Amino acid sequence: MNNFDFYNPTKILFGKGRIADLNDQIPTDAKVLVLYGGGSAERTGVLAQVREALAGRTLIEFGGIEPNPRFATALKAVDLVAEKSITFLLAVGGGSVIDATKFIAAASKYDGDAWDILTSRGSVVTNALPFGTVLTLPATASEMNSGAVITNSEKGAKLPFGSPHCFPAFSMLDPEVTYTLPDRQIANGVADPFVHVIEQYLTYPVNAPIQDGFAETLMRTLIDLGPKALASPKDYDIRANLMWTATLALNGLIGAGVPQDWSSHMIGHEITALNDTDHARTLAVVLPSLMNDQRGPKRVKLLQYAANVWDIRDGSDDERIDAAIAATRRFFEELGIKTRLNDYDVDASGIDHIVGALKDHGMTALGEHGDITPDDARRILEAA
Ligand code: NZQ
Ligand code: ZN
């Protein structure tokens, strides 16, 4: 196992009715800005629960954060923070609202051009406003990590950043608020954490049986519960287990001390920047093709994945790897997620654009060995 630092200060408040405990988590003298998305939190009554829990406080609200949150929208919230002397942010939503809140928290304390936060991947961040989250869509684990992804439509860029100053102080995880999610978002919320686990697992062995075993359990749980969550939308135990699985998939624990390969994510982000395809769907397109393309360097872990996640034990090495890739693709398709690039209207000129964008954004040395180049990404996309 490699050397590592593990740091995660986020407090989780999990279970039915937990939003009622919100008041105790926020300093009594805080001036709070509540941030939310395009209206689902209002429609589903989650915002009403938040307002009730915080009754008696002066709350300022900022809605309209888009899926794949936009830089320009976040900057409007940064202005509001300054204008109203806000001291605490509360994100109510999914990964997009939480990611935007992280960026707003950092940009509110940054003196230079806020775009630097993204081009530096977060290294310029030395401080951030404190914030908490009320999670309404389990998928990204943004509720328990320090990363975020922001889209700048004018620049055609979707860029990640992270900072130890951007962990949520707390996150409220009430599985009942997920009952209102449409099937498409439930499916996304199964596929995205599955690929988060894969990107921290499917590299090469470093004798880390805890991380590997934990990762395999998370994947088997997603394979088991994903279809059940779609079939039984109001089953509390299924939703509760799915919610916790998504959080654990990217809160740093399974990635500590092991090599990682975020190439499916970085290539996928460029597909979303091109045509706004849902994040999880871009991953379902890139991952099976990348697994096939990288079967040499990833051979040992691919065989371990076949055996321990899919129970594929018969046949030659290549036959078992083929079967594991086919099972992965079938899993996404059975969730209702298409896995071919042409399902998302990306043609040859779209691939040219994505490859150019990877170069422009410095994504030229991806993978656990830093040897997946934009030319390799082109081959992976052409086969996808
Ligand atoms: O905008 P509203 O009206 O609120 O509707 C949202 C949105 O349209 C809706 N929704 C959320 N909770 C709901 C609900 N509808 C009904 N009932 C509820 N309880 O769902 C739609 C999608 O929401 P969004 O937040 O965009 O989805 P998700 O959580 O999948 O977040 C995706 C974003 O997170 C980034 C992605 O790139 C993408 O921008 N990621 C962030 C990561 C991180 N911070 O660690 C890691 C991920 O790999 C990912 O890159
Ligand atoms: Zn993701």
Number of residues assigned to the chain: 384
Report CA(230)–ligand 1 centroid distance (Å). 18
Question: Quick one: pLDDT band at residue 39, thresholds 50, 70, 90?
Answer: very high
Is 1 among the domain residues?
Answer: no
Report CA(28)–ligand 2 centroid distance (Å). 35
* Number of domains the chain is built from: 2
Q: What is the DSSP letter of 161?
A: E
Residue numbers of the domain that contains 256 = 183-383
Residues 71 and 128 in one domain: yes
Residues 268 and 303 in one domain: yes
Q: Is 279 in the pocket of ligand 1 (CB under 6 A)?
A: yes
Pocket test for ligand 1, best of 96, 200, 234, 275 (most atoms within 8 A of CB): 96
- Distance separating alpha carbons of residues 305 and 321, to the nearest angstrom: 9
Is 6 among the domain residues?
Answer: no
Q: In the listed set 126, 158, 177, which residue is the last one of a domain according to the structure? A: 177
Cα 324 from chain centroid (whole Å): 24
> Which ligand approaches the C-alpha of residue 174 most closely?
1
User: What CATH number should be reported for the domain holding residue 130?
Assistant: 3.40.50.1970
Q: In the listed set 119, 151, 177, which residue is the last one of a domain according to the structure? A: 177
Atom of ligand 1 nearest to the CA of 40: 3
pLDDT for 22 equals 98
Q: Is 37 in the pocket of ligand 1 (CB under 6 A)?
A: yes
The pLDDT tens digits of the residues spanning 163-198 come to: 999 999 999 999 999 999 999 999 999 999 999 999
Residues 310 and 335 in one domain: yes
Residues 125 and 251 in one domain: no
Q: How far apart are the first and last CA of the chain?
A: 33
**Ranges of H-type helices in 54-94:** 71-83
The pLDDT tens digits of the residues spanning 116-138 come to: 999 999 999 999 999 999 999 99
Is 2 among the domain residues?
Answer: no
Report CA(138)–ligand 1 centroid distance (Å). 8
- Report the chain's mean pLDDT, rounded to a whole number: 97
Pocket test for ligand 1, best of 194, 195, 279 (most atoms within 8 A of CB): 279
Residues 165 and 188 in one domain: no
pLDDT for 250 equals 98
Whose C-alpha lies nearest to ligand 1, atom 5? Answer: 40
The pLDDT tens digits of the residues spanning 316-372 come to: 999 999 999 999 999 999 999 999 999 999 999 999 999 999 999 999 999 999 999
Question: Quick one: pLDDT band at residue 384, thresholds 50, 70, 90?
Answer: very high
Question: Quick one: pLDDT band at residue 296, thresholds 50, 70, 90?
Answer: very high
pLDDT for 111 equals 95
Q: Is 44 in the pocket of ligand 1 (CB under 6 A)?
A: yes
Residues 189 and 330 in one domain: yes
Residues 59 and 118 in one domain: yes
> Which ligand approaches the C-alpha of residue 91 most closely?
1
Residues 113 and 188 in one domain: no
**Ranges of H-type helices in the chain:** 22-25, 40-43, 46-53, 71-83, 95-107, 115-119, 183-199, 209-231, 236-249, 263-275, 279-293, 299-310, 317-334, 348-360, 374-383
